[in-house]
Structure 1
Amino acid sequence: MKSFIQGAKEIEDYLVEIRRHLHRHPELESDLPKTTKYVKEKLTEIGCKPEEICKSGIVATIGGNKPGKTILLRADMDALPMQEESGLEYTSQHLGIAHTCGHDIHTSFLIGAAKLLKEREGEIEGTIKLMFQPGEESLTGALDMIKSGILESPKVDCAVGMHVQPLLPLNHLNYAKGPFLASTDILRITIQGRSCHASQPHMGIDPINIAAHIILSLQSLQSKLVPSNEPVVLNICEVKSGNTSNVVPEQAILTGTLRTFNPQLRKEIIEQCDKIIKLTSQAFGATSKLEILESCPSAINDKKLVDEIKEYIPNLGIDFVSDPNYRMQVSDDFGFISELVPSILFIIGCKPDGIESSHNHNSKVIYNEEVLQMGAALFAQCAFDYLKNNK
């Protein structure tokens, strides 16, 4: 029987065709009618029976004929609201929408893995559940699919995800134990002051002045409350207040982001932020409110699962380079899955030859398509070997 990587090499043109089709036709968030139609067609062609369990959320299973555990393989499908400037012949055909985070590649990985696994379905000892997810960029898709039962019927025992990284060379694969990608909390601070003429500031309560004190205090919180060995980012990135030069405004609104790898520290920082905001406002006679507009937990690689899966990776026959300390401050709503079942998220390198730097969420990003065969084979190998060794 040929290996998964041999099989993936044989279907490389097929994977490239799928990836380029998806790349030409990007869609946003959870509104992916063309993408879901195409993915379901491809899955049906290889003998799967895909089902849309929520808007643009597709699930299909392989195996299940022999008793065993269930492993989930997840790929995200949505694009970003930005213009592509890569100059590629298969560039996005939709103005202001582009696959500049590699989700078209992730989807191709999983379709390819499905094709490889379907060919060996008779050997599968358990069930492989395929999760094609919308809304990763909005951090909503994973939760929608969880609420729609993706982790049940059959109940999922572990989950595997993958993300491409064009800053890393080909053959680089990272999957450090524990917190791997950061949590995200989007903060909105509303300060309610009292308007007055700029020449009579004592007649009002200036929310801009209060906002300045709050911003400085939050930065001090980051340096004084957080242990030096804990990576934390707390940034106020937007300030809105006033519309003319001679009127003290009624209100100021600040928005920003908090990112951390430590769930308990995350909770403590949010509590301290709330105290600083309220007490600083009170000191100047104003009122304020802290809201968490959007939240996503850290993607955590289960230590036991990492130890097991890393034993299967050499079976691919690829000499991967790995960094056991690799972590990123970006977030992925795969974190909602890792909260519920033992999970592992891979970061796989795909830097094109001859390009100095190319990063996700960049209008000119280019990916090395040789990674397609690697990602498809890696998904298939991990699923097949996990089920074989966990009867």
Structure 2
Amino acid sequence: MISTFPSTSSFNHSQIRLEIRSLQSQLVQWRRQLHQHPELGFTEVLTSQFIAQKLQEWGINHQTGIAKTGIVATIESHQPGPVLAIRADMDALPIQEENDVPYRSVHEGIMHACGHDGHTAIALGTAYYLSQHRQDFRGTVKLIFQPAEEGPGGAKPMIEQGALKNPDVDTIIGLHLWNNLPLGTVGVRTGALMAAVECFRCHIQGKGGHGAMPHQTVDSVVIAAQIINALQTIVARNVSPLDSAVVTVGEVHAGTALNVIADSAKMSGTVRYFNPTFEGYFSQRLEEIIGGICQSHRAKYELNYWRLYPPVINNAKIAELVRSVALEVVETPIGVVPECQTMGGEDMSFFLQEVPGCYFFLGSANPDKGLAYPHHHPRFDFDETVLGVGVEMFVRCVEKFCNKN
């Protein structure tokens, strides 16, 4: 558990308007309903039905079935103006929940271990509030409920199926509940917030034999070990120290017995970086290094390399808008955290490649309540007070952006 945070018990709720505070019990109820019934990417059928039912009850126009289970809701004000999109992901993870809570997942092996249930509840609360206060902003707000952020990625197919069109979106914002920050903080920065995600699998084919007669073999384990070590030189000796990047081999499989030299070895891993100019670079270097080492040992190899998500790059103007709102909403001694980058990835990046926008972190941990386990942990949970904070953040962003543009 994280235990380095200051106490969040002094968080000041005075900047959250009364109507949003009165929604808190509903926000918690929606979040817990979603938490109890988690669904994996592109199978969020119950989740999508739940969202659509609420939108219909509130008289909000919406389109379902985008990228299988995605939904786009449209709220028009009483005056013409810009179009702002708010994105919320809604899928869960293949993790067995270990929390002993009344709203524990009822789906074996699946849980909301990353806060997407909270994202959806916040977006629903925002939709409800804005639908009741159309006179308070100009233009149009589109709420994008996206499937499959955890993989294989629902943002790109939603874009391809017109989520940012009719009407055309001018800018987009989104948030991620973040247990790396305490309740009462907001992490927002201009430029790269989250890393590109690229993946690889490699199959090395050598020649097996007796462990006591290595001269008769081509040892795939020795080759794999050399490759793993050599891959670390990409960041250490090919990437500028002023840039950040990671090459991780997370999986290795070889061999069947202690006295047998394995004829083949398999490994897989991930590559992360912030600088978009690195696109294509790491795949080339992996090919060169793996190819060179295998050639020197007279081994064969197959390398499968693919790009999952580009880096999340925030627009300076929209990031400043979010930062100004955060300074109004959170009043703890920590407040706004500017240096909040992570090598984690997010397919919000595809939306940000299409239109200017900002993705930000909303602190959700509360160690005082035992709510500080990291994301993707089987005991992940967050302080639900953050739900109202999220709605207030989104609503103020809408009012500031739509009334000034």
Give the counterpart letter for 1:209 in structure 2: V
Greater CA deviation, 209-218 or 225-234? Answer: 225-234
Alignment partner, residue 135 of structure 1: 148
Partners of 1:4 and 1:381 in 2: CA distance: 10
Alignment partner, residue 228 of structure 1: 241
2:199 is the counterpart of 1:210:
no
Alignment partner, residue 383 of structure 2: 368
Partners of 2:340 and 2:232 in 1: CA distance: 26
SS at match of 1:74: strand
Partners of 2:218 and 2:327 in 1: CA distance: 65
Partners of 1:337 and 1:131 in 2: CA distance: 11
Alignment partner, residue 82 of structure 1: 95
Alignment partner, residue 121 of structure 1: 134
Greater CA deviation, 336-345 or 287-296? Answer: 287-296
Structure 2: 5+ residue stretches without partners: 1-14
Q: CA deviation at 1:231?
A: 2.2
Alignment partner, residue 239 of structure 1: 252
Residue 181 to residue 116, structure 1, CA distance change in 2 (3 Å): same
SS at match of 2:162: coil
Pairing partner for 1:146 from 135, 143, 159: 159
Alignment partner, residue 4 of structure 2: none
Equivalent residues in 2 for 1:314-329 (5 A)?
Answer: 314=327, 316=329, 321-329=335-343
Q: CA deviation at 1:227?
A: 1.9
Q: Deviations over 1:53-90 (max 9, x none)?
A: 22111111001653322111000111111111121121
What count of residue pairs does the alignment treat as equivalent? 389
Alignment partner, residue 42 of structure 2: 30
Partners of 1:375 and 1:318 in 2: CA distance: 14
Partners of 1:5 and 1:279 in 2: CA distance: 63
Alignment partner, residue 403 of structure 2: 388
Alignment partner, residue 6 of structure 2: none
Give the counterpart letter for 1:92 in structure 2: S
Q: Deviations over 1:97-154 (max 9, x none)?
A: 1111110000000000001111112343211111001101114111121121111121
Is the Cα–Cα contact under 8 Å of residues 108 and 376 in structure 1 kept in the other structure? no
Greater CA deviation, 240-249 or 271-280? Answer: 240-249
Partners of 1:59 and 1:4 in 2: CA distance: 26
Give the counterpart letter for 2:322 in structure 1: I
2:26 is the counterpart of 1:11:
no
SS at match of 1:229: coil
Residue 280 to residue 359, structure 1, CA distance change in 2 (3 Å): same
Is the Cα–Cα contact under 8 Å of residues 61 and 75 in structure 2 kept in the other structure? no
Partners of 2:249 and 2:180 in 1: CA distance: 27
Residue 222 to residue 317, structure 1, CA distance change in 2 (3 Å): closer
Is the Cα–Cα contact under 8 Å of residues 313 and 382 in structure 1 kept in the other structure? no
Q: Deviations over 1:134-178 (max 9, x none)?
A: 101114111121121111121111111100112322110011110
Q: CA deviation at 1:317?
A: 7.4
Q: CA deviation at 1:270?
A: 2.8
Give the counterpart letter for 2:125 in structure 1: G
Residue 161 to residue 139, structure 1, CA distance change in 2 (3 Å): farther
Equivalent residues in 2 for 1:330-341 (5 A)?
Answer: 330-341=344-355
2:374 is the counterpart of 1:359:
yes
Is the Cα–Cα contact under 8 Å of residues 237 and 255 in structure 1 kept in the other structure? yes
Alignment partner, residue 346 of structure 1: 360
Give the counterpart letter for 1:68 in structure 2: G
Q: Percent identity?
A: 33
Calculate the aligned-residue CA RMSD, in Å.
2.1
TM-score (norm 1): 0.94
Residue 194 to residue 253, structure 1, CA distance change in 2 (3 Å): same
2:271 is the counterpart of 1:258:
yes
2:282 is the counterpart of 1:269:
yes
Q: CA deviation at 1:204?
A: 3.2
TM-score (norm 2): 0.90
Pairing partner for 2:174 from 142, 155, 161: 161
2:194 is the counterpart of 1:181:
yes
Partners of 2:371 and 2:107 in 1: CA distance: 27
Alignment partner, residue 66 of structure 1: 79
